[in-house]
A and B are shown apart, each in its own frame.
Chain A
Amino acid sequence: AQSVTQLDSQVPVFEEAPVELRCNYSSSVSVYLFWYVQYPNQGLQLLLKYLSGSTLVKGINGFEAEFNKSQTSFHLRKPSVHISDTAEYFCAVSEGGTSGTYKYIFGTGTRLKVLA
């Protein structure tokens, strides 16, 4: 079974500073990786996804992530954060099930807190 590790439960960062949220996965087969953001009292919103091709993936709101197969990582980065980026961030890998049904394996989440 696959697993996803987000080692940092909380990341405080000052406004306009860069940030990196770490995600490591375990899989011996091809992986599809996703980053989601969850603002308070809302559902999860897709930030970006890695399916294949270029290892640098650009997403919404100025976020990007780099897929590194040798290090089994998919870290999320933003060069300059805003107060509005304060939220919970989840990394997920898609895992196959029976009859062509697929499900996500989520990491435990990283709370990004942007300080003024």
Chain B
Amino acid sequence: DTEVTQTPKHLVMGMTNKKSLKCEQHMGHRAMYWYKQKAKKPPELMFVYSYEKLSINESVPSRFSPECPNSSLLNLHLHALQPEDSALYLCASSQAGHSNQPQHFGDGTRLSIL
């Protein structure tokens, strides 16, 4: 069983739609991450939140907007996406402030842009 829960599991949207991806964890982790993963590639880091503040933005286009409303929730708001944004979006969490703490991943949201 995954301890990081992502919804929805699948999402199909048009290029003009607005949608949100959600991620929830109850492990008391204060670092949360969004990744984008294309087929047969490793995950690419998009954003990192530490203690509910955005600490890393890997030059992600503004059509992706992250939000961390509390220590258990992480959202990714999507608007005007492009076909190349179709991918598996993974959320992860870990203890904050320690480089030796492993990240725990959810099962992802598979996003398809029409």
B-contacting residues of A (Cβ < 8 Å)? 32, 34, 36, 41-46, 49, 51, 88, 90, 94-104, 106-109, 111
Shortest distance from the beta carbon of B47 to any chain A beta carbon, whole Å: 10
Among candidates B42, B96, B103, B108, residue contacting A108 with C-beta atoms closer than 8 Å: B42
Q: What's the Cα separation between A111 and B41 when bound, in Å?
A: 11
**Can you list 25 contacts pairing A with B, beta carbon distance less than 8 Å?**
A32-B99, A42-B108, A43-B2, A43-B4, A43-B90, A43-B105, A43-B108, A44-B92, A49-B100, A49-B102, A90-B42, A94-B100, A99-B50, A100-B96, A101-B31, A101-B56, A101-B96, A101-B97, A102-B31, A102-B94, A103-B33, A103-B48, A103-B56, A104-B103, A109-B41
Interface SS of chain A: helix, strand, loop or mixed? strand
The 0/1 profile, CB within 8 Å of A marked 1, for residues 54-80 of chain B is 011000000000000000000000000
Q: What's the Cα separation between A81 and B33 when bound, in Å?
A: 32
The 0/1 profile, CB within 8 Å of A marked 1, for residues 91-114 of chain B is 010101111111111111010000
- Contact between A44 and B100 (Cβ–Cβ < 8 Å)? no
What would 7 more interface pairs be, CB under 8 Å, given A42-B107, A88-B40? Answer: A46-B102, A49-B102, A98-B55, A100-B97, A101-B48, A102-B99, A103-B45
Q: What's the Cα separation between A89 and B107 when bound, in Å?
A: 15
Q: Which residue of A lies closest to B107 (CB)?
A: A43
Please give, as numbers and ranges, the residues of chain B lying within 8 Å of A96 by CB-CB distance.
Answer: 99
A-contacting residues of B (Cβ < 8 Å)? 2, 4, 6, 31, 33, 40-43, 45, 48, 50, 55-56, 90, 92, 94, 96-108, 110
Shortest distance from the beta carbon of B68 to any chain A beta carbon, whole Å: 13
Please give, as numbers and ranges, the residues of chain B lying within 8 Å of A45 by CB-CB distance.
Answer: 105
Shortest distance from the beta carbon of B52 to any chain A beta carbon, whole Å: 13
Q: What's the Cα separation between A41 and B106 when bound, in Å?
A: 11
Shortest distance from the beta carbon of B93 to any chain A beta carbon, whole Å: 12
Q: What's the Cα separation between A45 and B92 when bound, in Å?
A: 11
Please give, as numbers and ranges, the residues of chain A lying within 8 Å of B101 by CB-CB distance.
Answer: 102
Please give, as numbers and ranges, the residues of chain A lying within 8 Å of B94 by CB-CB distance.
Answer: 102
- Contact between B56 and A100 (Cβ–Cβ < 8 Å)? no
